[in-house]
Structure 1
């Protein structure tokens, strides 16, 4: 499993945002279409019906956000020890992004959890948005691009690559 830009790639599966588990919201990109997952947003949009695929509410990495994350971690650790509340307290969920699917039957807003703890670099956000746009350019482009992402995910071992490598992959996939 690895994060590359706004995408979470787990073996051959490609998600926008974090890979969901249980009833958590998420968005999966398959060769057939865009799948919305989670409680209250299950649905499927065929690629041939997807005119635009965009994402909003993306947190961009900044020094202020990084300092805030460290502070939240420290305060959370102290509270956890003091209150013995254990992991998984309410409020521990990451922020949500909005994935918009534009189709002939209307615009659909889907939720997906952010995978980056302190936000994404501006370059990764811009490249990821370009990649989402590229996926709607036609069946051949979408199939080739998703296949390259899936193939990379099946061959990758370890955690997420460093930022320069992530940006390089996104540039390659945007083509």
Structure 2
């Protein structure tokens, strides 16, 4: 499993945001279409009907966000040591982002968990949004792009690459 931009790629499966488990919400990109996963949003939006694919509410990495995460972790650690019954941040859900699918049937807002604890770099957000837009340009473009992302995921064994490599991959997948 690896994160590249806003995408989570696990053994050839491509998700926008984190890969969901159980009834948690998520969005998977398949050769057939955009698959909404989770309780209350299960659906398949076929690529032939998808006119636009965008994402909103994406946390962008910043120094203040990183400091906030470190501060929260430190406070939780102290609280857990002082009060062994305190649940801490482990019980809190990660942030959510909204994946918007515009299709012939209207606009659909899908929820997906954010995979990056301190947010995504601005460059990766921009490249990911451009890549999502590219997926709606036609069947051949979508199939080629998703196939490249899936193939990379199947061959990836060492986890999430560093920032420069993630950006390079996003640019490569855009063609």
The TM tier, using the shorter chain, reads over 0.9
Q: Is the 8 A contact 2:96 2:111 kept in 1?
A: yes
Larger mean Cα displacement after TM superposition, 80-89 or 102-111 = 80-89
The separation in 2 between residues aligned to 1:55 and 1:162, in whole angstroms, is 23
Deviation string 1:35-62 (CA, Å, 9 cap, x unpaired) is 0011111111000000000000000000
- How far the C-alpha of 1:88 sits from its partner, in A, is 7.2
Q: What TM-score results when the alignment is normalised by the length of structure 1?
A: 0.96
Tell me the SS of whatever aligns to 2:159: coil
Q: In the alignment, which residue of structure 2 is the partner of 1:75?
A: 75
Tell me the SS of whatever aligns to 2:161: coil
Q: In the alignment, which residue of structure 2 is the partner of 1:84?
A: 85
Q: In the alignment, which residue of structure 2 is the partner of 1:126?
A: 126
Question: After the TM superposition, which segments of 4 or more aligned residues of structure 1 sit over 6 Å from their partners?
Answer: none
Q: Is the 8 A contact 2:95 2:113 kept in 1?
A: yes
Is 1:137 the counterpart of 2:133 in the alignment? no
How do 1:24-173 and structure 2 match up within 5 A?
A: 24-81=24-81, 82-85=83-86, 90=91, 92-173=92-173
The separation in 2 between residues aligned to 1:87 and 1:129, in whole angstroms, is 33
Q: In the alignment, which residue of structure 1 is the partner of 2:4?
A: 4
The separation in 2 between residues aligned to 1:137 and 1:10, in whole angstroms, is 24
CA change 1:72–1:170 in 2 (3 A) is same
- How far the C-alpha of 1:73 sits from its partner, in A, is 1.1
Deviation string 1:138-168 (CA, Å, 9 cap, x unpaired) is 0000000000000000000122100000000
Tell me the SS of whatever aligns to 1:77: helix
Give unmatched runs, 5+ long, in structure 2.
none
Size of the aligned set, in residue pairs, is 174
Tell me the SS of whatever aligns to 2:132: helix
Q: CA RMSD in A?
A: 1.3
Deviation string 1:10-36 (CA, Å, 9 cap, x unpaired) is 011000000001111100000000000
Q: What TM-score results when the alignment is normalised by the length of structure 2?
A: 0.96
